[in-house]
Structure 1
Amino acid sequence: MAAKRPNLLFVFPDQWRKMAVGCSNDDPVYTQNIDRFAAESVTLDHAISCFPLCSPNRAVMLTGRFPLSTGVTGNCKPGLTLKLNDDELTIGNMLQKEGYRTGYIGKWHLDLPERSLNPEPPSGAVHWDAYIPPGPRRFGFDFWHAYNANDKHMSPHYWQDTHERIAPGEWSTKHETDVAIQFLRDQPADQPFCLVVSWNPPHQPFEQVPDEYKAMYADQPGYIRPNVQGDGLEQAERHMKDYFAAVTGTDREFGRLLEALEEAGLAEDTIVVLTSDHGETMGAHGWMEHKNIWYEESIAVPFFIRYPSGLGPRTDSVLFNSADIVPTLLGLMGVQPTEPGRIQGTDHSGLLRGEAAARPNSTFICHYPGDVDEHKQAQEEGWNINAYGWRGVRTARYTYVAEKRVGDRAVRRLMYDNELDPYQMSPVLLDGPPRESIAAELESELRSWLRQAGDDFCLE
């Protein structure tokens, strides 16, 4: 009889930066459960958000494919036609096909707002939100307790299999954890499961967090990173403690989830991943409530993976991209991708097991201006909007970025030495394509990634 394949519990809070975890010894935040979990896990200390914005990076994380391939080159919001392509395959599709019980709980944000199609939808969805009915647009997830996008952490709502809204009247992270715990308790003994839990906090509105967590930071001195400047100072002073409070609340709920896994006798054979879709600048470099930028506060995310029967705890410095998540998890689970040729990320499961394997020299980061509908003049003039924005590479030491804004003719290049300049306050500005030295090597890396991603961003 074939051995039962491992379960997967994939948990990702929204907008949680790498610095905001106690064991990183950076942001002064309390995360005792996550710290304990990290000590039992493989910690990837160079985990990078490919496109540090909610919808685009969620698509990358769930498919193993870059944004131009998934069709999600911006946030799925009113006025745009962006959504996950109908023919995409998520890890939910692939594991469902292998007989897994699949579930998705929390924020989805990969579909059109319902009001883009119907001004008065039966579900009552407004703004960015949508009820996604059972069927192909759930991309392989059978159990569904979710919403598209709605930033009301203290008064959330959800849909399951009808238009009727579920309004629990409590903090979203607490409620979603309760639902996830029940999913684990209902798990059949003879079937593996894949459960994705997508918490919205610590995403803004930052103040929407229970008072008990805010109280833990009431007497803490203000904390300002050296690169917080200009208008960003006001944001950091106003929101930082609430941001930390939401992370601590997340830590509490993550601890409850791990306890339930243990009580159900599932911990030993379950791969548990804790990460984030992207970070938060929190005033760094003057950016206000922002993440869609190449700075470390935005692209660097926590990434812990625990698999007691398959991985020993340690830290690994592999450059690990959002696109690598699906192929690496499938590799650990002994599951072949449904269509291997579609996957654009890399399977690093061998490295995680401690085997000798090739390591990437760099990893790809990007931003696209989004749907052409957002740029009417450019659309009328026949511009390829996706040829604008910024593209870059992150290496173990450097961040290298090329940026071209809509309407500009020239490409701007910046290089950061993250070893000598850890707060990225003194970039090297390059006048045209570099011809020698480290910058030329980074340019070559970027060109290689653009080819791999099918991206016609012009560097000339």
Structure 2
Amino acid sequence: MIDNNIRSILLTGGFTSTILLGGCNVPLPPQTDHPNVIYVFPDQMRNHAMGFWRKAGFRDAVHFTGDPVYTPNLNQFADESIVLTSAMSNFPVSSPYRGCFFTGKFPTNSGVPLNCKADRPVSSLPIDAECISDVFSKSGYNCAYIGKLHLDHPTPNDPDNPGEYVGEARPAWDAYTPPERRHGFDYWYSYGTFDVHKHPHYWDTEGKRHDINEWSPKHEADKAIAYLRNEGNVRDKNKPFFMVVSFNPPHGPYHSLNDCMEEDYNLYKDKPLDSLLIRPNVNFNMSKNKCVPYYFASVTGVDREFGRILEELKKLGLDKSTIVVFTSDHGETMCSQGVEDAKNSPYAESMNVPFLIRYPQKLAPRIDQEMILSTPDIMPTLLGLSGLGNKIPTAVEGRNYADWFLEKSKRTPLRNAALYIRNADGEKDADGNITSYFPIARGIKTTRYTLALTINKNTKELENALLFDDLNDPYQMHNLPLEENKEVVAMLCEKMVPLLVEANDPWYKEHILKNMIPYN
């Protein structure tokens, strides 16, 4: 759990949005201290796949060359925002990231240690979790969720077919989220996980299913714009709002025009492959290479839909009073390192995610190279920036960096590294359901180094390791031998200990690899 000194920091500052009246919390009218919040996070979006990284100023702030991708809206948004160079998805997989974001906790305590599917009852957002949306809702906010959720263990709860799963896949991945599991979101237009981008489906606030024949980010941006306009009186205009928009693309599949918009694909279709895959760590023998134009097309399409939301916010005069975040749950290796898996690895292109935050007249636009943001920090920081710092649940493990963003003070200490986490399925019951998880890999990402240690599931001894000098080897092409870099490994293992303690991680509790990691 969190050190008491850090916890006291988390609970200081901010402004209350309620008054005590007869022992009850009564919401106050919206104030300038309680801005609207829009959180947009496409799935599987590379930090490298944003055009502004190729622009003067931005390109000098990172050690990689930005992908040759067309993102005019993100380019403009970056000029108006704080842009982090080192936002890290600690467990770069969909459901665990979402559990960290919702709860402000690391996967050990969020309830979501693995990707959610029907044979993993061990991984599902707890119904009694106090989530970011619960705090906003109890503090007088309207709360809306639009798009992919992927946080619930799928059960046979189809509202149209009681006792059945909502999809035909077995084990089931897609899920319907009933009202009692929506954690304060009073407007709902969502689904679990379904990867047919031009034929998505959603369940609305009342549980009615909508099957759509339209590219999902376009449709979801339309719903977000309708929410901003308050079409159908879906929110109380006298209250501030917290709206989450979770696009599925550029998550796979990205194989054909069934997955993206043709107008976006046309920007890339005739370009030679080596003009798109410009990194020295690319393996040009992978079959995945042919997917690159479709992936970049999806990124460009997401940029356009994000821009439409921003434009509507401006038209309605809400831009100055709204915090807008653009980020992602994890990256995409896209033919780097010769790995097929787009995510779930310590590689920078998997862990390092976009993080841009704009709050006009409150946050001075800048590039922040110092902060190494961890996923659980997002919840308390957004609550702090919204004047709800004293509402952050005591169980939160992330840190409230609101004052850092506001440049008021640096009383909340920055971590000097981010923890890397990878879990695997653990024990199974007689029906084949996963009843536990195994903490198969842990690691650390500092401003210079990446270290990842993977253990054997039977012996819990070191099975393999990755060590990169990211400063001198930004594309992580040279795995350094541990024996030849003992001092660096010892330093990184020592730095890992407080991170494991803060996350209440199984490696700390079991003293895994205690011959390498100095727990005491």
Q: TM-score, normalised by structure 1?
A: 0.92
User: Aligned AA for 1:130?
Assistant: A
How far does residue 63 in structure 1 lie from its aligned partner after superposition?
1.5
User: Aligned AA for 1:334?
Assistant: G
User: Structure 1 residues 62 and 379 mapped into 2: Cα distance closer, same or farther (>3 Å)?
Assistant: closer
Q: Deviations over 1:199-222 (max 9, x none)?
A: 000000113111111111112221
Query: Does the CA contact (< 8 Å) of 2:190 and 2:204 recur in 1?
Result: yes
Find the counterpart in structure 1 of residue 382 from structure 2: 329
Q: Does 1:15 align with 2:35?
A: no
1:120 and 1:221 mapped to 2: Cα distance?
51
User: Aligned AA for 2:348?
Assistant: E
| Structure 2 residue runs without a partner (length 5+) | 1-28, 55-65, 515-520
How far does residue 132 in structure 1 lie from its aligned partner after superposition?
1.0
Equivalent pairs: percent with the same residue?
39
**Among candidates 497, 505, 512, match of residue 447 of structure 1:** 497
User: Aligned AA for 1:114?
Assistant: T
Query: Does the CA contact (< 8 Å) of 1:80 and 1:373 recur in 2?
Result: no
User: Aligned AA for 1:134?
Assistant: P
Find the counterpart in structure 1 of residue 6 from structure 2: none
User: Which one is further off, 267-276 or 396-405?
Assistant: 396-405
**Among candidates 133, 138, 156, match of residue 92 of structure 1:** 133
Query: Does the CA contact (< 8 Å) of 1:33 and 1:255 recur in 2?
Result: yes
Query: Does the CA contact (< 8 Å) of 1:146 and 1:160 recur in 2?
Result: yes
Q: Does 1:152 align with 2:196?
A: yes
Q: Deviations over 1:351-389 (max 9, x none)?
A: 212244132211112111145339999999xxx743x31
Find the counterpart in structure 1 of residue 473 from structure 2: 421
| Superposition map of 1:53-132 within 5 A | 53-81=93-121, 82-115=123-156, 121=163, 124-127=166-169, 128-132=173-177
Find the counterpart in structure 2 of residue 285 from structure 1: 337
Q: Does 1:27 align with 2:67?
A: yes
1:117 and 1:219 mapped to 2: Cα distance?
44
1:416 and 1:375 mapped to 2: Cα distance?
42
Find the counterpart in structure 2 of residue 350 from structure 1: 403
User: Structure 1 residues 36 and 459 mapped into 2: Cα distance closer, same or farther (>3 Å)?
Assistant: same
How far does residue 121 in structure 1 lie from its aligned partner after superposition?
4.4
Find the counterpart in structure 2 of residue 204 from structure 1: 252
| Superposition map of 1:259-338 within 5 A | 259-317=311-369, 318-336=371-389, 338=391
Aligned residues: 451
Find the counterpart in structure 2 of residue 403 from structure 1: 454
Find the counterpart in structure 1 of residue 291 from structure 2: 239
Q: Deviations over 1:328-349 (max 9, x none)?
A: 1111111036453211111111
Q: Does 1:219 align with 2:270?
A: yes
1:379 and 1:313 mapped to 2: Cα distance?
46
User: Aligned AA for 1:102?
Assistant: C
Q: Does 1:249 align with 2:301?
A: yes
SS across alignment from 1:424 = coil
User: Aligned AA for 2:106?
Assistant: F
Q: Does 1:43 align with 2:83?
A: yes
User: Structure 1 residues 260 and 431 mapped into 2: Cα distance closer, same or farther (>3 Å)?
Assistant: same
Find the counterpart in structure 2 of residue 178 from structure 1: 222
User: Aligned AA for 1:23?
Assistant: F
1:59 and 1:367 mapped to 2: Cα distance?
14
Query: Does the CA contact (< 8 Å) of 1:79 and 1:116 recur in 2?
Result: no
How far does residue 24 in structure 1 lie from its aligned partner after superposition?
1.4
Q: Deviations over 1:223-265 (max 9, x none)?
A: 332212276x321x21111000000000110110001111111
Q: Does 1:142 align with 2:186?
A: yes
Query: Does the CA contact (< 8 Å) of 2:30 and 2:238 recur in 1?
Result: no
| Structure 1 residue runs without a partner (length 5+) | none
Query: Does the CA contact (< 8 Å) of 2:120 and 2:434 recur in 1?
Result: no
Q: Deviations over 1:385-417 (max 9, x none)?
A: 43x311111111111112114234421343211
Q: TM-score, normalised by structure 2?
A: 0.82
User: Aligned AA for 2:223?
Assistant: V
How far does residue 322 in structure 1 lie from its aligned partner after superposition?
0.8
Query: Does the CA contact (< 8 Å) of 1:114 and 1:125 recur in 2?
Result: no
How far does residue 309 in structure 1 lie from its aligned partner after superposition?
2.6
